[in-house]
């Protein structure tokens, strides 16, 4: 069998859960993986292009990909208290967003979809890489920004303030976890291979959760000089029981996100 092309981000939660899979620390049931790492919005675009057999994407992007890709039961970033945060330098309120320029980490990120749910009147947006958003607020390029990943641990130290926690907004609105991203595999791979990928992904997550130290070398070398404590907080926040298995509650949360996006006309045709 030819190698499975795999793509995920260099963020600690992804490198943590994929370490065992890509480094042969588990039984991959005969599957061979060739992997690449990209930022979240690049991953979304690669999925739209069909450039990877197995790929981590934002759940917002999955809205447009479900006809071609199957969602794996393991590997998702989904939970409570870990959603994107809307920040600024000045003490703005949500009602101010209609007149502000807001940085977003990608058109098809779940962060952008949650912003549209919380503030549909926010129309002045600027797409940029997630790790540029804090500095762009500080230097006045934008008025506010939606931050994801490890930036939720760093923005206060840079003198920035929170306008709203968009994950918290979602949880209060629907009383279920916030679905951020998941692992997809091409339906064209066939039922047998999809079954293997489901099992292998779960084994990789379970291996990392059982012995976290095994993955930390891979995490560190891809964490963009991130502080060790921030790395550990990042993993603890984004890797949880839903990462091991979405289960009924996780799948219901994804369905709620999709349903609300469609009901409110937030999905492009």
Question: Which residues participate in catalysis according to the annotation?
Answer: 149
- The DSSP bridge partners found for residue 88 are 144, 161
The rounded distance, in Å, linking the Cα atoms of 257 and 261 is 6
Cα–Cα distances in Å, from 124 out to 45, 115, 120, 145, 264? 22, 12, 11, 11, 19
């Amino acid at each position: 069998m030819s190698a499975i092309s795999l793509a995920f981000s260099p963020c600690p939660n992804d490198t943590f859960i994929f370490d065992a899979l890509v480094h042969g620390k588990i039984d991959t049931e005969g599957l061979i993986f060739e992997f690449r790492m990209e930022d979240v919005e690049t991953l979304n675009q690669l999925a739209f292009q069909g450039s990877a057999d197995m790929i981590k994407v934002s759940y917002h992007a999955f809205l447009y990909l479900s006809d071609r890709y199957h969602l794996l039961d393991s590997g998702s970033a989904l939970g409570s208290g870990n959603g994107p945060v809307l920040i600024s330098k000045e003490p703005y309120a949500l009602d101010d967003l209609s007149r502000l320029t807001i940085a977003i980490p990608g058109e098809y990120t779940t962060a952008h979809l949650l912003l549209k749910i919380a503030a549909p009147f926010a129309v002045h947006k600027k797409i940029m890489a997630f790790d540029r958003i804090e500095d762009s607020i500080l230097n006045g390029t934008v008025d506010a920004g939606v931050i994801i990943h490890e930036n939720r641990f760093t923005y206060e130290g840079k003198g920035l303030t929170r306008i709203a926690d968009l994950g918290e907004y979602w949880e209060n609105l629907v009383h279920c976890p916030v679905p951020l991203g998941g692992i997809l595999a091409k339906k064209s791979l066939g039922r047998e291979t999809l079954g293997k990928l489901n099992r292998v992904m779960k084994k990789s997550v379970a291996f990392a959760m059982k012995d976290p130290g095994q993955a930390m070398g891979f995490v560190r070398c891809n964490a963009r000089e991130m502080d060790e404590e921030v790395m550990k907080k990042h993993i603890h926040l984004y890797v949880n029981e839903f990462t091991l298995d979405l289960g009924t509650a996780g799948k219901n949360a994804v369905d709620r996100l999709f349903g609300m996006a469609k009901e409110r006309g937030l999905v492009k045709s």
